[in-house]
Structure 1
Amino acid sequence: MSDQIQEILDIPAEFARDGVQFMKRCTKPDKKEFLRLCQAVGVGFLIMGAVGYIVKLIHIPVNNILVGGA
């Protein structure tokens, strides 16, 4: 019974240790890495926006054909 309680109490402590170890390993990105990340995110936004726009352009006429033909 006491072993089970000890195991339950060890879980938050282990999680906290892992979190501290992760934060120590993290580094702040330099300017070059930050700009590259911003460019990648921007390109992703543009691609997803273009895909959404194309899907909308295709959806409107198809929807009008389906609704108008019924």
Structure 2
Amino acid sequence: MRGNQGHPNVLVRVWLDDEGRVRDLKVRRSCGDPARDDRALHAIAVKQFPRGQLGSGGGTSQRWHDLTYDGD
């Protein structure tokens, strides 16, 4: 998969807590450029995500997500 500038995308695995905060992350598939992989990790590490809701009961969950980074 290629990003918007012809570079391969970075696939990052992210652990989100029940408040949507990044608690752990790692490169799952490198784009082949270590500096770009590092930029992907930093860009995702500082993001805030929606809370993990479990149905209408109000429960929350912690979970892993795979995110594709295609920006520079």
Q: Which interval holds the TM-score relative to the shorter structure? A: under 0.3
Larger helix proportion, structure 1 or 2?
Answer: 1
Higher relative contact order (CA 8 A, sep 6+): 2
Larger strand proportion, structure 1 or 2?
Answer: 2
Structure exhibiting the larger radius of gyration computed from Cα positions:
1
